[in-house]
Amino acid sequence: MFGTFGGIYVPEPLMPALEELEEAFLQLSQDQAFLARLKELLADYAGRPTPLYHARNLSAKWGAQIFLKREDLLHGGAHKTNNALGQALLAQAMAKKRIIAETGAGQHGVATAMAGALLGLRTEIYMGEVDIERQKPNVLRMQLLGAQVHPVATGGRTLKDAINQALRDWISNLRDTHYLLGTAAGPHPFPTLVKFFQSVIGDEARSQFFQRYRSLPEYAIACIGGGSNAIGLFSAFLEEPSVRLIGVEPAGRGLDTHEHGAVLSRGTAGCLHGMKSMLLQDEDGQIQETYSIAAGLDYPSVGPEHAYLKSTGRAVYESATDGEALFAFHDLCRTEGIIPALESAHALACARRLAATVPAQTTILVSLSGRGDKDLEQVMPRD
């Protein structure tokens, strides 16, 4: 548990799978051979370490020193590969023959399909119909990599509904199947396990920054859907009070509309997808539909550790609207020649806002969690 958040709240038939997973994780996360194999794959297959880039043009334009942790350069195009490789190796060690996953933006689906192809695991991906429509290139990539993509037509047909369907599949097939959950949410041990595999983002960024400047950045900023790239970045700085941690949620068309996904800003405590966390819900406890231009942030709950970090004040959580994210997206394209994912553009938007209010030498570390090739159809003006 993370304070009053987290835990295991799942139907009984899933309990044995979670117990098996916890046991395997506890054992393998201490196993030198397993860790060496993961490290080798992350380096030679996925391209770690990813660069830490001082974006000087953007810094000059926005008014503070912006450092980008380039997870967009990781094989697959986003930080999701860190977790997918780790969990796929776990699945293999547990003698599972099949992996399933949910995906919103499609990046986790792609990363899972890559890992499945690499390790010879049959791979099936659940993806909401709305997301299939708006992230088509990633659907094609998953199919090329040999994964089967199941469209999900229930609920709002986005990430939440894909998770529901993946959970149902897992309940029916847990003997030979591992559910490769893509974010630091869901029942224990997933939040801890995903953080373990994503902490490489923060560990690398911290040591890269320190080697260059013999200090730590003043701010670390990441976007929050479920919150896996954010918890991966934050994990290296949790014990460093001088580093201010900011998570950025999607404000969609505005926090005062119903079309956003700002769970920590506007949500209340509850229980969904096997965990206690903050939720966007009505008075009966029915989960509300969310909205964001970024499919990967379109989720009505959030990883339990973020709910906890907010409650203790260790991290603060802000939001960025679709418009602010798009503005930052174009700024990065034009000033640095880097096309960010729309998800990551939310973190950039927050950095831009912050840069305008702090001295120019202030150092701001931003997790550039993914690349934006998948979003071209969304951002290009249509004729």
Partner 1 sequence: MTDRYARRFAQLKREKRRAFIPFTLLGWPDRQSSFSIVKAMIECGASSLELGLAFSDPVADGPIIQQAASETLASGFKVRDAFELIAEIRGLDREIPIGLLVYYNMVLAQGVEQFCQRAQKAGVDGILVADLPPEAASEVVPAARACDLSTLFIVSPLTTEDRLGKIREYAGAFVYAVSRLGITGTEARYDQALKAMIARVHATVSLPVCVGFGVSTPDQARAMFALGADGVITGSRILQLVREANGAEYDQRLRAFLESMSEVCLCQR
Interface with partner 1 (CB under 8 A): 7-13, 15-16, 19, 154-155, 160, 164, 167-168, 171-175, 269-274, 279, 281, 283-287
Nearest distance from residue 197's CB to partner 1, in Å?
Answer: 24
Cα atoms in the 13 Å half-sphere on the side-chain side of 46: 33
How far is 206 from 217, CA to CA, in rounded Å? Answer: 8
Which of 228, 235, 367, 369 is catalytic? The answer is 369
Nearest distance from residue 108's CB to partner 1, in Å?
Answer: 19
Q: List % helix, strand, coil for the chain (3-state, nearest 5).
A: 45, 20, 35
Cβ distance to partner 1 smaller for residue 78 or 185: 185
How far is 44 from 82, CA to CA, in rounded Å? Answer: 13
Nearest distance from residue 102's CB to partner 1, in Å?
Answer: 12
Cβ distance to partner 1 smaller for residue 34 or 126: 126
Cβ distance to partner 1 smaller for residue 4 or 207: 4
Which of 69, 80, 96, 160 is catalytic? The answer is 80
Is 160 assigned a catalytic role? no
Cβ distance to partner 1 smaller for residue 285 or 359: 285
Q: How far apart are the first and last CA of the chain?
A: 50
The strand pair at 148-152 and 244-252 is best described as: unpaired
What CA–CA distances, in Å, run from 330 to 11, 34, 164, 340?
45, 41, 34, 9
Is 367 assigned a catalytic role? no
Is 369 assigned a catalytic role? yes
Tokens read off for 80: 């999701």
How far is 153 from 150, CA to CA, in rounded Å? Answer: 10
What CA–CA distances, in Å, run from 192 to 25, 73, 180?
10, 25, 13
Nearest distance from residue 14's CB to partner 1, in Å?
Answer: 9
Catalytic residue numbers read: 80, 102, 369
